[in-house]
């Protein structure tokens, strides 16, 4: 129950922050513009698509672009949300109150993580309202749409886990934000290095470490258990690292 209490507190703090509201508004504005642009292109291409035997639908040509753009925007936005979770507690010296409270470091990390994840899930659902609006004009590939949504949720959950961990390493929120963005960008483009490596084993390892490759598989409607395991392991590892970091800090206090 303490985890849920901490999660509610973190979620309430986010909704009281002007930054969080500004992020939601800017994301919706940018993605709405991209959605309408993709929809306009799709309508323009309709006469040509009708000549194809198996033409791609709105899900592939419109919805996929929205979720792909949302994933990239989340990579820039999540560091701004996670930078203050622990580092600001350190800077304000309120971290000592958490250490003295009758809660474990596991409860603190999981509570803050779930609160942040709740906010990000709301953002994902708000983004999904735009593709769902297309259902009033015609059928959508529901399976592909759900796979894209699942991929986006798992992706932002990974972003949140690594951002939370890096926030435990510093007292400066700015440093936490910059380092989180740097790590996420590295994980995003690491498969590019794999394409340049001649060694098959090394190339395969780099491709597996790339968070983009696993997200792209789900965005194409390919439900592979290896991708799900990757995301779950990713989240677990960084949450455990965050817990161990706070445990080490509490011992010093």
Collapsing DSSP states into helix, strand and coil, what is residue 72? helix
CA distance 172 to 89: 10
Residue 32, both tokens: 């709405």
The proportion of the chain whose per-residue pLDDT surpasses 70, expressed as a percent, equals: 92
Q: What is the pLDDT of residue 248?
A: 83
CA distance 127 to 28: 7
Is 237 a residue whose pLDDT tops 80?
yes
Per the rule left: phi > 0, alpha: psi between -120 and 50, beta: everything else, 221 is: left
* pLDDT tens-digit readout, 47-70: 777 777 776 777 888 888 899 999
CA distance 119 to 216: 23
Calculate mean pLDDT across residues 246-250: 81
Measured N-to-C along each axis, helices 200-209 and 173-196 cross at an angle, to the nearest 10 degrees, of: 150
Give how far Cα 153 sits from Cα of 71, 72, 110, 121, Å: 9, 13, 17, 7
Q: What is the pLDDT of residue 198?
A: 54
- What is the torsion angle, in degrees rounded to the nearest 10, for the CA atoms of residue 238, residue 240, residue 244 and residue 246? 70
Is 193 a residue whose pLDDT tops 70?
no
Q: Which of 163, 194, 157 is nearest to 176 (CA)?
A: 163
* pLDDT tens-digit readout, 130-169: 888 887 777 778 888 899 999 999 999 999 999 999 998 8
Give how far Cα 169 sits from Cα of 21, 71, 183, 216, 234, Å: 26, 25, 14, 31, 18
Residue 11, both tokens: 């979620």
Q: Angle at the Cα of 210 (from 84 to 115), degrees rounded to 5? A: 30
Q: What does pTM read for this prediction?
A: 0.90
- Contacts of 55-60 spanning 24+ positions with Cβ under 8 A: 57/138, 57/139, 57/140, 57/141, 58/134, 58/138, 58/140, 59/131, 59/140, 59/141, 59/144, 59/145, 60/141, 60/144
Question: Where are the chain's structural domains?
Answer: 2-252
CA distance 2 to 138: 46
* pLDDT tens-digit readout, 80-128: 999 888 877 777 676 777 777 778 888 889 999 999 999 999 999 999 8
């Amino acid at each position: 129950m303490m985890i849920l209490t901490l999660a509610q507190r973190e979620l309430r703090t986010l909704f009281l922050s002007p930054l969080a509201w500004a992020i939601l508004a800017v994301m919706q504005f940018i993605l709405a513009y991209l959605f309408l642009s993709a929809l306009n292109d799709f309508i323009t291409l309709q006469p040509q698509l009708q000549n194809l035997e198996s033409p791609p639908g709105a899900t592939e040509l419109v919805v996929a672009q929205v979720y792909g753009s949302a994933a990239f925007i989340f990579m820039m936005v999540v560091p701004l949300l996670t930078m203050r979770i622990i580092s600001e507690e350190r800077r304000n010296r309120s971290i000592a109150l958490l250490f003295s409270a009758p809660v474990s470091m596991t409860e603190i990390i999981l509570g803050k993580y779930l609160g942040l994840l709740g906010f990000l899930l709301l953002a994902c659902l708000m983004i999904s309202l735009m593709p769902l609006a297309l259902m009033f004009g015609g059928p959508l590939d529901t399976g592909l749409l759900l796979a894209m949504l699942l991929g986006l949720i798992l992706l932002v959950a990974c972003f949140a886990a690594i951002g939370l961990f890096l926030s435990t390493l510093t007292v400066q929120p700015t440093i936490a934000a910059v380092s989180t963005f740097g790590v996420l960008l590295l994980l995003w483009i690491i498969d590019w290095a794999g394409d340049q490596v001649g060694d098959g084993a090394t190339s395969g390892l780099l491709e597996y470490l790339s968070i983009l490759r696993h997200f792209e598989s789900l965005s194409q409607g390919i439900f592979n258990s290896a991708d799900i395991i990757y995301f779950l392991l990713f989240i677990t590892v960084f949450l455990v690292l965050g817990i161990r970091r706070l445990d080490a800090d509490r011992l010093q206090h």
